[in-house]
Structure 1
Amino acid sequence: MGLNLPQLRRRAATDATGAGAATAVAPGAESQWRLIGRRFRRHRMAMFSLVIVCLLALVGVFAEFVAPTTTGEYSAEHTHAPPQALHFVDTSDGLDLGLYVYGYESVRDQETLAREYTVDESHKVPIGFFVEGTPYEMWGVFPMDTHLIGPTDPDERMYLLGADRNGRDMLSRIVYGTRVSLSIGLVGVAMSFVLGIVLGGISGYFGGRVDTGIQRVIEFTMSIPTIPLWMGLSAAVPREWGPLMTYFAITVILSLIGWTDLARVVRGRFLSLREEDFVTAARLDGCSRPRIIRRHMLPSFTSHIVASLTLAVPMMILAESALSFLGLGLQPPVVSWGVLMQEAQNIHSIAGAPWTLLPGVAVTVAVLVLNFVGDGIRDSADPYQ
């Protein structure tokens, strides 16, 4: 029995509505990012590492508030002072709950002229939260003098992680170094991301002479030994530049070296995707080349790019630390983990003040947790898992 045109239209609308309802309630109809997030939350080590990364980021953002004092505050009487143990309960005179540390007694050795410290249990320094301390400018804008933790008496001093050769608090300097080292890693990776995506995408999509030229540049860059290349580029930075210009120059240097691996990965993906049916359909539909790359090709392997970027941040942090440790990167008064590790370049510091190696522990922790997060993202984004 034949159907007229209005009947055909009603049947088509009914079929479309039923199909839409079936699709809406179909089990497993979740977005790719929702599935990746669900698998990532099952990765316990990655989740724990993500918490540590978030804490490090908060410490870097609010470094002035978190640090017990500023980076320039020093005491000539506490050079290479050892770390102080933080106590929670005082039983010397009844039961007294509260944070405190014991003070120092220091004498100078007449033969070596080195200071020798002993714990003075008769001198108790109370510790509190949100205490008044050394004035500072939050983010260089807002004048404040409140610190997250510190002595309740502004005239007292606290060295939970010891002091350096100038009597400056190591904990405060490590906290300030967190901001510089992590931001260099993130900014450097962001710049490498732009170079790698743009040049790798152009190389893989267009092919031919363009591909050959870009690949020769990548191979030439990768053939140069990394450390001599760093040394040469860092030596070209004028010494009269200020801390901000030097910071920017080091970030650019790391980005110019770190984009090649991502560019090769993006090129390989573009070579395999440009012949796919959905790319051909978009091209026949009249889409421009930038739109095909941005809306159709890049989203198909975004998860892989995110995982690659996460794993690239630790390499940037290690590179900055190595350059600053060798005296080729950031220099005082800028405070980074690499600059702080310069204190451990002599045998006296290692033998007499091993706590000057603690910035290296901070680098190790940051690199490990970022690698664990990157591994978790990579495993969660793997469609074959």
Structure 2
Amino acid sequence: MSEPVPHWVSTRPFDAERETGEHTSVRADYARASSRRLFWWRLRSRRLAVVSLAFLVVSYLVAATAEFIAPTGVATRDTRHIFMPPQPVHLFHDGRFLGPFVYAMKGELDMDTLQRRYTQDRTKPQPLRFFCRGEPYRFWGIWDADRHLYCAPEGGTAFLLGSDRLGRDMASRLVHGARISLTIGLLGVTLTLALGLLFGGLAGYLGGRADFWLGRTTEILRSLPHLPIWLALSAALPVTMSPLLVYFAITAILACLEWPGLARAVRSKLLSLREEDFVAAAEMMGAGPARIIARHLLPNFMSHIVVSAALAIPSMILAETALSFLNLGLRAPITSWGVLLTEAQNIEAVVLYPWLLLPMVPVMATVLAFSFLGDGLRDALDPLSE
């Protein structure tokens, strides 16, 4: 009996008595498909994972082009418009289509509560400018430019996500913060994978004393409470350390506490695979341990490694956000989503200026996207998941 077409290749039921040429073609394509094509077919059938992948690709593109996307610099201040609420974007004014525009804002200080209050002047629509010349910047610190995706109207403001206590644009700071928060996850996971594959691979393949001592080391590290260790190591960083060194130090701290879990998973898998016939054949042909691990063993559980990496990135982002929120992580002038949340550490900000909590939105969206993508990758890379 011929094998039925998987549901992720064709959603129509297969009937051998009414098999059409289209069914035959689909079955033939499935039989000839490479592993990469089969992986893509399985991943494409999981809509949530595909949407998450698209969201993450767009997020990293925005982070890579932050200077162009953001209308102002990360530290640009407008002291005349501190704590301005978000200005909504409109398309129609008095029934006429004007394109994207904002209304002018009038601000005044309430002498009773000492709170700044802003009202819209709906008689003055101010069109936004796109692909415009604005504040100059050095793109990636390499070349000078002054083009921005959008700019404030001439003589007006465009605080689409509001402003903070110093009059800095929250939208611009969120975009610039994405570069730090998203890349710290990638760098941290890269270091985690390197350490986990190295020590887990040695323990699983060599066995014996190497397995014993490396296993005890990973168990000790896994037994340590992560949050107090994060806080202690972060607090030990000198205050005079440059922001760039703090960035790499925080990345190293997060990675050094995350690799034991991956190392244990790699060890257990290698212990079962090293007894296979293809490993013995490779040893008889003169292959060394490094080549056997890299060329023969690791590819056999690459799906687990990919999924572990996808699920470890959000934990890195959350850890950096927590440390920065507690003023023990990244420090100004570096801007990350966690640093931005330090502005909302009191009840006044939550009640009077709720837009200061907006950095939580990209953090939550990114964590969920990586989680959904990790689930989709696990199912797509594992043929037994069907």
Contact between 1:102 and 1:124, CA under 8 Å: does it hold in 2? yes
- State the secondary structure of the residue aligned to 1:188: helix
Q: Deviations over 1:250-294 (max 9, x none)?
A: 111111011111111100110000001111111122211111111
1:39 aligned onto 2:29: no
- State the secondary structure of the residue aligned to 2:149: strand
Q: Deviations over 1:90-124 (max 9, x none)?
A: 226xx242211011111111122211111111232
Contact between 2:310 and 2:373, CA under 8 Å: does it hold in 1? yes
Q: Quote the Cα distance in structure 1 between the aligned partners of 2:317 and 2:29.
A: 45
1:73 aligned onto 2:82: no
Shift of 1:27: 6.0
Q: How does 1:60-209 map to 2 (within 5 A)?
A: 60-91=63-94, 95-153=96-154, 155-209=155-209
Contact between 1:131 and 1:152, CA under 8 Å: does it hold in 2? no
Q: Quote the Cα distance in structure 1 between the aligned partners of 2:57 and 2:235.
A: 34
Q: 1:57 aligns with which of 54, 60, 65?
A: 60
The gaps in structure 2 that reach 5 residues or longer are 1-27
- State the secondary structure of the residue aligned to 2:329: coil
Contact between 2:205 and 2:274, CA under 8 Å: does it hold in 1? yes
Shift of 1:134: 1.2
Q: How does 1:1-385 map to 2 (within 5 A)?
A: 28-91=31-94, 95-153=96-154, 155-384=155-384, 385=386
Code of the residue aligned with 1:106 in structure 2: it is G
2:23 is aligned to: none
Contact between 2:53 and 2:369, CA under 8 Å: does it hold in 1? yes
Q: Quote the Cα distance in structure 1 between the aligned partners of 2:194 and 2:367.
A: 22
Q: Quote the Cα distance in structure 2 between the aligned partners of 1:300 and 1:96.
A: 59
Q: Quote the Cα distance in structure 2 between the aligned partners of 1:26 and 1:142.
A: 49
Code of the residue aligned with 2:80 in structure 1: it is E
Q: 1:162 to 1:26 in 2, by over 3 A?
A: closer
Code of the residue aligned with 2:34 in structure 1: it is S
Code of the residue aligned with 2:162 in structure 1: it is G
Q: 1:336 to 1:26 in 2, by over 3 A?
A: closer
Q: Quote the Cα distance in structure 2 between the aligned partners of 1:30 and 1:277.
A: 27
1:19 is aligned to: none
Contact between 2:85 and 2:161, CA under 8 Å: does it hold in 1? yes
Contact between 1:325 and 1:341, CA under 8 Å: does it hold in 2? yes
Q: Quote the Cα distance in structure 2 between the aligned partners of 1:120 and 1:27.
A: 62
- State the secondary structure of the residue aligned to 1:237: coil
Q: Deviations over 1:186-240 (max 9, x none)?
A: 0000000100001000010011111111111111111111110001111221111
- State the secondary structure of the residue aligned to 1:55: helix
Shift of 1:357: 0.5
Q: Quote the Cα distance in structure 2 between the aligned partners of 1:287 and 1:134.
A: 59
1:11 is aligned to: none
The gaps in structure 1 that reach 5 residues or longer are 1-24
Q: Deviations over 1:333-382 (max 9, x none)?
A: 11000000111101111000000110011100010111111110001112
- State the secondary structure of the residue aligned to 1:84: coil
CA RMSD of aligned residues (A): 1.4
Contact between 1:107 and 1:115, CA under 8 Å: does it hold in 2? yes
- State the secondary structure of the residue aligned to 1:179: helix
Q: Quote the Cα distance in structure 1 between the aligned partners of 2:97 and 2:53.
A: 37
Shift of 1:152: 4.1
Contact between 1:69 and 1:169, CA under 8 Å: does it hold in 2? yes
Code of the residue aligned with 1:335 in structure 2: it is T
Q: Quote the Cα distance in structure 2 between the aligned partners of 1:212 and 1:236.
A: 32
Contact between 2:98 and 2:127, CA under 8 Å: does it hold in 1? no
- State the secondary structure of the residue aligned to 1:197: helix
Q: Quote the Cα distance in structure 1 between the aligned partners of 2:358 and 2:29.
A: 54
Code of the residue aligned with 1:122 in structure 2: it is T
Contact between 1:132 and 1:152, CA under 8 Å: does it hold in 2? no
Contact between 2:105 and 2:119, CA under 8 Å: does it hold in 1? yes
- State the secondary structure of the residue aligned to 1:120: strand
Q: Quote the Cα distance in structure 1 between the aligned partners of 2:29 and 2:310.
A: 34
Bigger CA radius of gyration: 1
- State the secondary structure of the residue aligned to 2:31: coil
Calculate percent identity across the aligned residue pairs: 47
- State the secondary structure of the residue aligned to 1:134: strand
Shift of 1:140: 1.1
Shift of 1:29: 4.0
- State the secondary structure of the residue aligned to 1:28: helix
Contact between 1:234 and 1:329, CA under 8 Å: does it hold in 2? yes
Contact between 1:131 and 1:151, CA under 8 Å: does it hold in 2? no
Code of the residue aligned with 2:257 in structure 1: it is I
Moved more, 268-277 or 216-225: 216-225
